[in-house]
Amino acid sequence: MPHPVTDDPEYDLAVIGAGPAGLAGAVAAAELGLSVALLDASSQPGGQFYRHPAPALGATRPEALHHDWATFTALRRRLADSTATLLAGHHVWTVVRAEARDLWDVHAVTGADGDRDRPVRVRARAVLLATGAYERHLPFPGWTVPGVVGAGGAQAMLKSGLVLPGLRASPAGARPGAGARVVVAGSGPLLLAVAATLAAAGARVPAVVEASGYLGYARHPRTLAANPHKVAEAARHGAALLRHGVRLRTRSAVTRVHGSDRVEAVTVSRLDRDWRPVRGSGRRIACDALAVGFGLVPQLDLATGLGCATRRARDGSHLLDLDAQQETSVPGIWAAGETGGIGGVELALTEGELAGRAIAARLGGRAAAGGSGRGRALRRRRARMRAFAAVMAAVHAPGAGWSRWLDDTTDVCRCEEVGAGRIREAATAFGARDARTVKLLTRAGMGWCQGRMCGTAVACLAAEGREQGPPPAPERRPLAVPVRLDALAALTGTAASDPGEPEEHAAGEDSTGG
Amino acid sequence: MARDRSPAERVGAVPDPAFEITFDGRPLVALPGQSLAAALWAAGILAWRTTRVGGRPRGAFCGIGHCFDCLATVNGAPNRRACLVPARPGDAVTTQEGHGHAAPGDR
């Protein structure tokens, strides 16, 4: 029996995602007089960066696992003091144009995992997409062994659940949480933060393994000088790692995990400039868990479903193409934070505020306090931090040689258990040139996660050994989260409009940005 | 800085009273506010699913509800994302085999 769709009242603005960008945007717009609904899948605001324990865990010092916690608590206070409505536990699965002109319908399923409760529709005059990012993964032999976890995932489980991966079952009364050995590996600035947080929480971190070098940053001295907070952040993490005796290995990668039912050790190999493992350089490191990730990828499912134009970043990922006001190519749909390029928390806060102010100006809210001076300062800060983000994407862009560490039996698609050999066969023997064709031939990317975990790897393998063809369009996922059939059935007639083709997809080629 | 501080000590956690859940019939202690995956990790358990094709063990991977590797059978209902579902007193988590829809005892 389908539950009826619950209609919330109509809002000026629906903000999707209550991380730094969404919070800043919602607060700015609400303070300028707009009625705002802020939707987030989690039970609490904060997103991934400000993820924190549920109240029942009674954390008296949540700031101990966070940098700049005061920024979050100030935003949370302003949100509570504003007229904005926080809709927690709302998993938005699609946004469509309403029948009425100039209105948008935001459809969500509710509950802890979106599986049990009523479907909801929120109608608004404008939508701010602040859907953040998810972690980019590259497969390697043994990456499906229990105890191999996402670097961001390890941090998320620690920040919200106060647990570490790879603990051994301890006798009753033993102090839980301390002592697991966690190797941190992959590429990107998140690794240092994750390693520092894990070490601070009692994990032993035998090594941080970074596939790139840090020298790439040194080629952009002016961008570094303009972003002293980023340099300070890296220094802070570096100092924390030194204090905990953590060894940093650059130009190296975990090329094999040992253990069948749980992680027992990893092999770390040196990489050449293109990330090809150097023969004979493998060294075994004993550990209980591996936290691994290769940077972040913007989460664009809702945006591409709406037909918002995208462009390519220097690391190959797709970003939303935004104007100076943070508006997408679809009028009325705005975006802020990682969806426009992976830039970190300060950039997300800046873009969120800019978007909130611009939307208020468009929809006839009050004039922004601080007027154009504040706007100018925010735009300057955005330009400075976007320049740093571009350097970061280039420094940590996956090298083409990473696939040399795969063997044919390595599962690339975790959901459908499709090995690298079958994907290469689809590309070489059956002529698949892109992730979509590989998916149709092998089922890689067709499972539960809809290619979020394997998408980068499948696209790389499909393109291996070819002349550079047209770059692939971003993945389209008409349902951004799994939706039960009864939730769909409850929508008869409300969500049938065609979202249209995204510009990039329709054009069959990419704009040159990035 | 103390090296062997646990995460809970680090944040000065004073949780509400702990309660019991079970994993494949074995009792575990969970804290209110923890996800099922967090409670399982705290007990040293990393795998609570076997894959459909290879029958390989899996547990939490992405930790934020995206990868679906952490699917578990909770109180008889399969395919719950253990990293998102909060632990409740008396929850019975069982290893999910394959798609989780096999009849009980059917191997």
Q: What is the pLDDT of residues A5-37, one digit of tens each?
A: 666 579 999 999 999 999 999 999 999 999 999
Return the number of other C-beta atoms located less than 10 Å from residue B41's C-beta.
33
Which of A495 and A443 is assigned the larger pLDDT? A443
Asked if pLDDT for residue A514 goes beyond 50, the answer is no
User: Which residue's entry shows tokens 């790879």?
Assistant: A166
Percent of chain A with pLDDT over 70: 89
Give yes or no for a contact between A20 and A26, defined as CB atoms under 8 angstroms apart. Answer: no
Which residue of A44, A48, A52, A57 to mutate against B (max B Cβ within 10 Å)?
A57
Phi-psi region at A300: left, alpha or beta (left = phi > 0; alpha = psi -120 to 50): alpha
pLDDT tens for each residue of A160-180: 999 999 988 755 544 554 579
pLDDT tens for each residue of A501-512: 444 433 333 333
Closest Cα in chain A, distance from residue B52 (Å): 8
Does the domain spanning A7-134+297-393 belong to CATH 3.50.50.60?
Answer: yes
Contacts of A161 in chain B (CB under 8 A): 34-35, 37-39, 41-42
- The answer to whether the Cβ–Cβ distance between B69 and A414 falls below 8 Å is yes
Closest Cα in chain B, distance from residue A347 (Å): 22
Query: Boundaries of CATH 3.50.50.60 in chain A?
Result: 7-134+297-393, 137-294
Residue-level pLDDT at A499: 44
Give yes or no for a contact between B98 and B79, defined as CB atoms under 8 angstroms apart. Answer: no
Write out the two tokens for B44.
């040293």
Return the number of other C-beta atoms located less than 10 Å from residue A386's C-beta.
17
Asked if pLDDT for residue A129 goes beyond 70, the answer is yes
- The answer to whether the Cβ–Cβ distance between B42 and A244 falls below 8 Å is no
**Which CATH number is A400-472 given?**
1.10.10.1100
Residue-level pLDDT at B2: 44
Return the number of other C-beta atoms located less than 10 Å from residue A370's C-beta.
12
Asked which of A42-51, A85-94, A352-361, A437-446 is least confident by mean pLDDT, the reply is: A437-446
Contacts of B45 in chain A (CB under 8 A): 169
Closest Cα in chain B, distance from residue A272 (Å): 28
Measured in degrees and rounded to the nearest 5, phi and psi for residue A481 equal -135, 160
Which of A371 and A502 is assigned the larger pLDDT? A371
Write out the two tokens for A251.
């130009």
CATH class of A137-294: alpha beta
Measured distance CA(A225)–CA(A305) in Å, rounded: 39
Domain boundaries, chain B: 17-97
Task: Give me the half-sphere count of Cα atoms (radius 13 Å) on the Cβ side of residue B26.
Answer: 9
Calculate the CA B98 to chain-centre distance: 16
Asked if pLDDT for residue A441 goes beyond 80, the answer is yes
pLDDT tens for each residue of A205-241: 999 999 998 888 888 999 989 999 888 888 888 898 8
Asked if pLDDT for residue A487 goes beyond 60, the answer is yes
Is A54 touching B (CB cutoff 8 A)?
A: yes
Measured distance CA(A70)–CA(A352) in Å, rounded: 17
- The partner residue sitting opposite A243, judged by closest CB among B1, B58, B61, is B1
pLDDT tens for each residue of A456-478: 999 889 888 666 555 567 777 87
Asked if pLDDT for residue A194 goes beyond 70, the answer is yes
Query: Boundaries of CATH 1.10.10.1100 in chain A?
Result: 400-472
Give yes or no for a contact between A44 and A52, defined as CB atoms under 8 angstroms apart. Answer: yes
Mean pLDDT in residue range A107-130: 88
DSSP assignment string, A217-275? HHT-HHHHHH-HHHHHHHHHHHHHHHHTTPEEEESEEEEEEE-SSS--EEEEEEB-TT-
Give yes or no for a contact between B68 and B84, defined as CB atoms under 8 angstroms apart. Answer: no
The gap between the terminal CA atoms of chain A, to the nearest Å, is: 48
Asked if pLDDT for residue A435 goes beyond 50, the answer is yes
Give yes or no for a contact between A508 and A307, defined as CB atoms under 8 angstroms apart. Answer: no
CATH class of B17-97: alpha beta
Measured in degrees and rounded to the nearest 5, phi and psi for residue B10 equal -55, -40
Give yes or no for a contact between A292 and A125, defined as CB atoms under 8 angstroms apart. Answer: no
Give yes or no for a contact between A454 and A439, defined as CB atoms under 8 angstroms apart. Answer: no
Closest Cα in chain A, distance from residue B105 (Å): 23
Percent of chain B with pLDDT over 90: 84
Q: What is the CA radius of gyration of chain B?
A: 15
Asked if pLDDT for residue A488 goes beyond 80, the answer is no
Asked if pLDDT for residue A363 goes beyond 80, the answer is yes
Asked if pLDDT for residue A197 goes beyond 90, the answer is yes
Nearest CA-CA partner of A127 in A109, A110, A103: A103
Nearest CA-CA partner of A268 in A280, A290, A292, A285: A285
